[in-house]
């Protein structure tokens, strides 16, 4: 049954996707477009024009402005039938020991990968809580948040922080009878620009480079669209949120 307002009008389901301008984020946003969906994409660059997708340009290395805009926009909306935030944006600093990257590159990796997730999640929850509708937060993590890798300290730290942030927020939401369902999901290895960066890294600073070259050579990488389809299927599962730390390869 489709949700209806008190006036008899059909209510839309709201989806907010970060990192929506390219790669898997663009595929997720594109797949979410539907007549009864309102889809907001947040990214540093404008993505390809897609019917049904509203795009906000924000550099999530400066996440406070984006979170404040989201909070104010949500507070001004009539309730949707449901609301979902997908924190997908992430970047890697140049592969290698931290002292080989600039301080700005290190800051960028943590701000986009972790601080933006925290601030956008807080803004989302505070503004949508009064609606009394089903709420979900899906944070796109990585196996590298659960296994340290040489030459990738900022990315590993951001994803490990995302996992623990998600688990802690899920504990808070479990205290509420209508609490949001929150998952930090590792999707597996995907053929994105990030993979190209890792394959192109200098071997001296990134000893696992060959492993990523082999992923590409052996066809082990999922396409962004294939990964998006699997992620959205996971989002629809009835047990979504029962395990706040999850891996798509083990689902």
The reported pLDDT for the residue numbered 56 is 95
Judge contact between 18 and 60, C-beta under 8 A: yes
pLDDT band, very low/low/confident/very high, at 195 (cuts 50, 70, 90): confident
pLDDT band, very low/low/confident/very high, at 8 (cuts 50, 70, 90): very low
Mean predicted confidence (pLDDT) in 38-48:
89
pLDDT single digits (tens) 222-245: 999 999 999 999 999 999 999 999
The reported pLDDT for the residue numbered 10 is 54
**How far is it, in rounded angstroms, from Cα 183 to Cα 170?**
8
Of residues 106, 94, 114, the one with CA closest to residue 162: 114
Q: How many other CB atoms are found less than 10 A from the CB of residue 216? A: 15
Q: Residues, the chain, total?
A: 251
Ordered alpha helix ranges (H), 14-111? 23-32, 63-75, 103-110
Which CATH number is correct for 13-188+224-250, 3.30.300.30, 3.40.50.720, 3.40.1350.10, 3.40.50.2300?
3.40.50.720
pLDDT single digits (tens) 118-174: 999 999 999 999 999 999 999 999 999 999 999 999 999 999 999 999 999 999 999
Domain ranges for the chain = 13-188+224-250
pLDDT single digits (tens) 117-127: 999 999 999 99
pLDDT single digits (tens) 55-100: 999 999 999 999 999 999 999 999 999 999 999 999 988 899 999 9
Q: How many other CB atoms are found less than 10 A from the CB of residue 94? A: 17
**How far is it, in rounded angstroms, from Cα 251 to Cα 241?**
12
């Amino acid at each position: 049954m489709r949700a209806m307002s008190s006036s008899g009008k059909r209510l839309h389901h709201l989806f907010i996707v970060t990192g929506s301008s390219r790669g898997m984020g663009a595929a997720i946003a594109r797949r979410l477009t539907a007549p009864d969906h309102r889809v907001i994409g947040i990214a540093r660059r404008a993505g390809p024009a897609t019917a049904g997708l509203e795009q906000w340009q924000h550099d999530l290395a400066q996440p406070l402005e984006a979170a404040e805009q989201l909070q104010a926009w949500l507070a001004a909306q009539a309730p949707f039938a449901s609301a979902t935030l997908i924190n997908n944006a992430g970047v890697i600093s140049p592969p290698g020991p931290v002292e080989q990257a600039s301080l700005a590159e290190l800051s960028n990796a943590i701000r986009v990968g972790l601080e933006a997730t925290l601030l956008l999640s807080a803004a989302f929850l505070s503004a949508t809580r009064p609606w009394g509708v089903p709420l979900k937060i899906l944070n796109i993590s990585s196996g590298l948040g659960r296994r340290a890798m040489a030459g990738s300290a900022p990315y590993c730290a951001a994803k490990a922080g995302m996992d623990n942030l998600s688990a802690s927020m899920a504990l808070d939401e479990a205290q509420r009878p209508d609490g949001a369902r929150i998952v930090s999901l590792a999707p597996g290895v995907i053929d994105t620009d990030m993979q190209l960066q890792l394959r192109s890294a200098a071997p001296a600073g990134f000893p696992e480079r060959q492993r990523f070259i082999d992923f590409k050579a052996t066809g082990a990488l999922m396409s962004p669209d294939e990964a998006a389809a699997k992620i959205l299927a996971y989002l629809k599962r009835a047990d979504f949120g029962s395990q706040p730390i999850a891996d798509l390869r083990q689902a």
